[in-house]
A and B are shown apart, each in its own frame.
Chain A
Amino acid sequence: GAVVSQHPSRVICKSGTSVKIECRSLDFQATTMFWYRQFPKQSLMLMATSNEGSKATYEQGVEKDKFLINHASLTLSTLTVTSAHPEDSSFYICSALGYNEQFFGPGTRLTVL
């Protein structure tokens, strides 16, 4: 099956710093990737839809300047959390659209101190 990798799996950073999370589709090309945020024991909350070669589409309430998304190639999308604060601590999941379904990365646990 299609594989999506996500790096890093876990990151701890200081408040005010920026963190970049990479999402790669390893064996297929994905023109569309999604970024989700998940709080403990809750569902996935869609943050943005990333389309290769164009600007990401953000969901209502998600700060574009804080969560920068770049989809520079058909196999790579990145999410940069800028000037991270403790309230940004969460589990971030990416997925890639292929074969009419989503393939999910393993997630990134972000902890902001």
Chain B
Amino acid sequence: AQTVTQSQPEMSVQEAETVTLSCTYDTSESDYYLFWYKQPPSRQMILVIRQEAYKQQNATENRFSVNFQKAAKSFSLKISDSQLGDAAMYFCAYRSGGNQFYFGTGTSLTVIP
């Protein structure tokens, strides 16, 4: 079975600085999707960014970008110019070709004013 590992239970970043959240996964598939979700205190899951495994180019969404290393099975999230509203739980997720989703244990991000 696929597993998703987030080794940082908690992270903090100074406002306006950059932070990187790490995620690794284990799979034998070649075709899959990877996602980062944000869960603020409201607990509504919000999609931050997604990456198709067949694409070599790293996905970017405004201040959010990923470093996708397929061979290393690594999928880190970089948040630039951190804002107070970025404070939340961040979950890395893997979607298999069979539409099964697997979530990491999450990283709690604190933004320090």
Contact = CB atoms under 8 A, between A and B. Distances in A.
A102 interface: yes
Interface in A81-95: 91, 93, 95
Contacts of A100: 33, 95
Majority-rule SS of A interface residues: strand
A102 B101 CA distance: 9
Majority-rule SS of B interface residues: strand
Interface in B58-113: 91, 95, 99-101, 103-106, 108
Interface of B: 33, 35, 37, 42-47, 50, 91, 95, 99-101, 103-106, 108
9 contacts: A41-B108, A97-B99, A101-B47, A101-B50, A104-B37, A104-B45, A104-B46, A106-B44, A107-B43
